[in-house]
Amino acid sequence: MAEALESLESCLEQHIPASDLPEVKRILYGGETRKLDLPAGALSAAQERDFELQGYGFDAASEQLRRPRVVRVGLVQNKIPLPTDAAVAAQVAALHRRIEEMVEVAAMCGVNIICFQEAWTMPFAFCTREKLPWTEFAESAEDGPTTKFCQELAKKYNMVVISPILERDEVHGGTLWNTAVVISNSGAVLGKSRKNHIPRVGDFNESTYYMEGNTGHPVFQTQFGTIAVNICYGRHHPLNWLMFSMNGAEIIFNPSATIGTLSESLWPIEARNAAIANHCFTCPINRVGTEYFKNAFTSGNGEKAHHDLGHFYGSSYVAAPDGSRTPGLSRTRDGLLVVEMDLNLCRQVGDKWNFKMTGRYEMYAEKLAEAVQPYFVPNIIKE
């Protein structure tokens, strides 16, 4: 049932009369997004490989002193190709193969920066609270096999690769982290960004496995633009987006894994609000499909033990600083979303709306420092 609707946007396209559709789109999405003319070879390859391929573009006004800074980003959403009880090495290999064939199509579409979904080399098994075999999916961010695999892709296609994995940090007692590895188009590991906020909601039992990230809010200056990675649950925290923006991010990726019953009505809101509030592009990515686990588990809601976390609803999209957004990818299929953006739009919108200029951050730094004190007295006015 939760899987039934293939895509909200195609449902609107199909049923809203042509006379009203532009207004509906303007109010819901900030207008019609320009469709990209993608190469026929890429479209047919996507069809053969059974994934959706969509392309959209955001433009900016031309300026006198800056040339357009046009970049193409790719967002990848995918199911796990093998069942969760297949051998760990086989599951990882199958995911590598699947991503490889999707990245090849991204390259045909001229993608400069590509981002995969959260913990992309594994099923999202944290719902089980079991340690083995799931912790065996963890790898070194610096020189694990997945990082090496991504370095090859980066060099081969001259593409920046964002690879969110389960990290094993041998230098610090072999701890686990939820980490995005950022790899330059040269193939060098630029650095890593760890998930700053860890959920304790529903079956998202991730706090059993890893702690809140300690890498702060790094931004990565790449040849194609200044980027940052806000992983999954950090999407719900406006201050997390803000600090990435304060450090200069023009594109903030949000690789995620989230399910329909929990968050689907929040999904179109939060990343888009972050794009508006911070004058930047945001790129939320969600996996698709339902993943079944051998051992049943309960959900802390009094209901019977069951074998899956629920339906990951995909719907990856890109939001622009002017409040407009692309349609979402499918709710049920693997997909690649190619989005062209002129990064000059960020400063243009900032100069128009002035949220940074009018933000009064000095006041908030003080207020927040007061508010976190254990004996903080809230400002409550009574009769």
99, 120 Cβ separation under 8 angstroms: yes
User: Rounded to whole angstroms, what are the CA distances from 69 to 50, 113, 138, 264?
Assistant: 32, 14, 36, 33
Contacts of 222 (CB under 8 A, 6+ apart): 113, 160, 184, 185, 190
Instruction: Decide if residue 299 touches a second copy (CB under 8 A).
Output: no
Q: Does the annotation count 195 as an active-site position?
A: yes
Site string for a second copy, 1-30 (x = CB under 8 A): ---xx--x--xx--xxx--x--xx-xxxxx
- Token readout for 286 is 């969600």
Instruction: Decide if residue 286 touches a second copy (CB under 8 A).
Output: no
Cα separation, 382 vs 355, whole angstroms: 32
Instruction: Decide if residue 89 touches a second copy (CB under 8 A).
Output: no
Smallest distance, a second copy to C-beta of residue 134, A: 22
Site string for a second copy, 114-153 (x = CB under 8 A): ----------------------------------------
CB-based burial of residue 376 (10 Å sphere; 0-12 exposed, 13-18 middle, 19+ buried)?
A: exposed
Q: Does the annotation count 250 as an active-site position?
A: no
b/e per residue 40-64 (b: at least 16 CB within 10 A): eebeebbeeeebbbbbbbbebeeee
Q: Which of 37, 64, 365, 375 binds a second copy (CB under 8 A)?
A: 365
User: Considering 115, 195, 270, 346, which one is annotated as catalytic?
Assistant: 195
Binding segment for a second copy (CB under 8 A), chosen from 72-80, 127-135, 258-266, 281-289, is: 258-266
- Token readout for 367 is 């207020």
Smallest distance, a second copy to C-beta of residue 196, A: 7
Number of Cβ atoms within 10 Å of the Cβ of 357: 9
Smallest distance, a second copy to C-beta of residue 287, A: 17
Q: Which of residues 312-341 bind a second copy (CB under 8 A)?
A: 323-324
Q: Which is nearer to a second copy, 42 or 162 (CB)?
A: 162
3-state secondary structure of 294: strand
Q: How many CA atoms lie within 13 A of 333 on its CB side?
A: 17
Size of interface with a second copy, in residues (CB under 8 A): 86
Smallest distance, a second copy to C-beta of residue 368, A: 4
Residue type, 145: P
Q: Does the annotation count 32 as an active-site position?
A: no
Q: Which of residues 168-227 bind a second copy (CB under 8 A)?
A: 182, 184, 186, 188, 190-191, 196-202, 212, 216-222, 226
Q: Which of 34, 64, 194, 358 binds a second copy (CB under 8 A)?
A: 358
Active site residues: 118, 195, 232
